[in-house]
Amino acid sequence: MVDLEKLTQAVGELDEEKVLAILKEFVGTNPSGEEANKVVNACQQGMAIVGDLFEKGEYFVGDLIFAGELLTAAIDTLKPVLGGESNTKIGKIVLGTVEGDLHDIGKNIFASMAEAAGFEVYDLGIDVPAGKFVEKIKEIKPQILGMSGVLTLALDAMKNTVDALQAAGLRDELKIIIGGNPVTEDACKQIGADAFTTNAAEGVKICQGWVM
């Protein structure tokens, strides 16, 4: 198993070479899904360090951009051990990062894990307005809507989306899960979602519980 603290630190320091070397070695050990989840969490914690250093003025927007590219490459390296696409389909999830928010790394991790667990995932991408969620839900009729957001303002966009679904008469047929750094139990209640998480693997478990 990899040294998780070393990995978190390397992500925080934006040491691409070290991060990718650690991950390639890890993937070569044929790890379990549980071990892979721990490694994803360690990377997520490294991104929190990047965020803190940005807030302190030690990192700049260019560093955030680089951090985004670094983590995307890290997740691509980990993909083979996060599980492939499952042949048995267990349900449909419409997913997107809400309006005003361009962060998609966490959403993409959740999408990969949900697909591996057997969900058909309809990913609408980033900066998705409420109306686009409503349209897709009318078309696909999924059991679950997943909304992602890491900016504080994403919480308002999530609430607007739930309100739009309510107005369209679609809310009651759906389970709604929200994910991303700022989501909390209080926010979940205010938004009118059914569940919240800051951990993609936990999110998949919640969704499985809804359809199985």
Cβ of residue 30: shortest distance to ligand B12, in angstroms?
22
Binder among 17, 30, 34, 61 for ligand B12 (CB under 6 A): 61
How many Å apart are CA 1 and CA 23, to the nearest integer? 10
Rounded to the nearest 10 degrees, what angle do helices 61-82 and 105-116 cross at?
Answer: 10
Identify which of residues 28 and 62 has a Cβ nearer to ligand B12 in the complex.
Answer: 62
Stretch 154-183: interaction string toward ligand B12, x if CB under 6 A: -----------------------x-xxx--
How many Å apart are CA 53 and CA 40, to the nearest integer? 20
Q: Are 59 and 110 in contact (CB under 8 A)?
A: no
Binder among 10, 11, 36, 47 for ligand B12 (CB under 6 A): 47
Identify the helix (H) or strand (E) that includes residue 7: helix 4-12
**Per-residue DSSP letter, 147:** E
90-109 residues in contact with ligand B12 (CB under 6 A) are: 100-107, 109
Query: Does residue 136 interact with ligand B12 by CB under 6 A?
Result: no
Q: Are 177 and 194 in contact (CB under 8 A)?
A: yes
Residue 28 has phi, psi (to 5 degrees) of: -70, -15
Identify the helix (H) or strand (E) that includes residue 55: helix 33-55
Cβ of residue 148: shortest distance to ligand B12, in angstroms?
3
Query: Does residue 187 interact with ligand B12 by CB under 6 A?
Result: no
Query: Does residue 116 interact with ligand B12 by CB under 6 A?
Result: no
Residues lying near ligand B12 in the complex (CB under 6 A): 40, 44, 47-48, 50-51, 54-55, 61, 64-65, 67-68, 71, 100-107, 109-110, 146, 148, 150-152, 177, 179-181, 197-200, 203
